[in-house]
Structure 1
Amino acid sequence: MAAVVDTLRAFFAPSTFVIDAENPGDVVARENLLDRAMGSGRRKKSSEKLRRGRVPAEGLALVARDVDGHAIGTVRLWDIEAGVTREGQAVPALLLGPLAVDPAHEGKGIGGMLMRAAIEEAANRGHGAILLVGDAAYYERFGFFAARTQHLVMPGPFERNRFLALELKEGWLEGAAGMLVASGRKLALPPVKRAA
């Protein structure tokens, strides 16, 4: 992660914002940012069904911070199985989302920087592919295309032309077909205290 951040700091003015690993102190700020950027309906999306009750993939929860250290952008990637091969083997992959930037900081390249950092870190960690549901015109510049998901489906309603993938390893999704399934670590909930 440090190499990714150093590379991106050299590309963008460090006095504006930096990319950093998300930490537990970012939870409230991230959720508030997502509500402002995406609205309350964000929890009803098909992608949310794959994230619910799970934690992001190891090392793949990133935030953009302003000069005061406040989270002004966020992106997370989640472990999933992208269908199965013809031989019936599950295809491990990542699901990206949500990507969001605080509306007060849009237009500064923060979303693009978060995307590049997330892709580079996923590749560095040996992942084979990243899938997402989003605006093709935006995500194609990062190498995401609908053709790579043509035999895959989301658990719930989704728009086929917005269901995109990027192969980090050539041919990773070749022959993959079927439903996306969550495979990441489950969120550990605190024990419930019972009344005596």
Structure 2
Amino acid sequence: MADLSLILSPQTPADLAAIERLDERAFGPGRFARSAYRLREGVEPDYALSFVARVGTLLVGANRMTPIRCGDHPALLLGPLTVDPAFRSGGIGEALVLKSLEAARAAGHALVLLVGDETYYGRMGFAPTPKGKLEFIGPVDPERLLYCELVEGALAGARGKVRRARRGSLTCPTGEAGAAQP
């Protein structure tokens, strides 16, 4: 068999149907009830920060970065991170996360949140959010609400409710004019 290389590329709207099928296989229909899914509902991902992984022409992984608000501060929500079960444990998920973090940092974003396991995401720079700092919508185990500062000290000013960015708006990395509002 030919050696096929992993190719990471920015997501496009044309990838959405294949990503939806991948998410369905990996997470099933119950995924829509999860708090993080509800937070992303109605908000377009930032395609420049969201990536797909392909082996040859086969889409084997995807992740999304969605603008959110942490109180009055802009941030990004990473997820879902999905890897085809046949390709798990090969570093694809970690490559997707690191690529998104690198792109977000280069674009001037300061803070990324996700709901996940610290044992997995900790090696990519994520840590548990201090108790009482942020209030996530819906039921979320506080130990699983993780953050990654792309700019040192970015979490300090973020507090309060984590909520979706307004439909059709993009989060301005600086939090100035053009930033998404509640």
> Normalized against structure 1, the TM-score is what?
0.80
SS in structure 1 of the partner of residue 119 of structure 2: helix
By how many angstroms is 1:79 displaced?
0.6
Who is 2:138 aligned against? 156
Counterpart for residue 40 of structure 1: 29
Q: Structure 1 residues 130 and 185 mapped into 2: Cα distance closer, same or farther (>3 Å)?
A: same
Contact preservation (8 Å) 1:55, 1:184: no
Gaps spanning 5+ residues in structure 2: where?
Answer: 170-182
Please identify runs of 4+ aligned residues in structure 1 that moved more than 4 A: none
- Equivalent residue for 2:60? 72
CA deviation string 1:92-140 (max 9, x = no partner)? 1101110010111112110010011010000000001000000110010
Shift of 1:57: 2.0
More helix by share: 1
2:33 is the counterpart of 1:51 = no
CA deviation profile, 1:27-83 (whole Å, cap 9, x unmatched): 11100101111121111111111111110125122100111x221100001111112
Number of positions where the alignment pairs a residue of Structure 1 with one of Structure 2: 167
**Are the structure 2 counterparts of residues 172 and 35 from structure 1 closer, same or farther at C-alpha, using a change threshold of 3 Å?**
same
Structure-2 separation of matches of 1:105 and 1:58 = 23
Larger Rg belongs to: 1
- Whether the 8 Å CA contact 2:63–2:80 is kept in 1: the answer is yes
**Alpha-carbon spacing, 1:101–1:184, altered in 2? closer, same or farther (3 Å):** farther
What RMSD in Å do the two structures reach over aligned CA positions? 1.7
Amino acid at match of 1:102: D
| Residues in 1 aligned to 2:14 and 2:129: alpha-carbon distance in whole angstroms | 38
Find the counterpart in structure 1 of residue 52 from structure 2: 63
Asked if 1:103 corresponds to 2:91, the answer is no
Partner of 1:9: none
Contact 2:73 2:157 (8 Å CA) reproduced: no
Residues 57 and 23 (structure 1), Cα distance of their counterparts in 2 relative to 1, 3 Å cut = closer
Q: In the TM superposition, what are the counterparts of 1:116-131 in structure 2 within 5 Å? A: 116-131=98-113
Deviation by residue 1:138-173 (Cα, 9 ceiling, x = unmatched): 010011111456410111000000000001011111
CA contact (8 A) 1:148 1:166 kept: no
Contact 1:148 1:173 in 2 (8 A): no
The structural deviation recorded for 1:184 is: 5.2
State TM-score, norm by structure 2: 0.86
Partner of 1:19: 8
AA paired with 1:22?
Q
Aligned to 2:175: none
Identity rate, percent: 40
| Match in the other structure for 2:176 | none
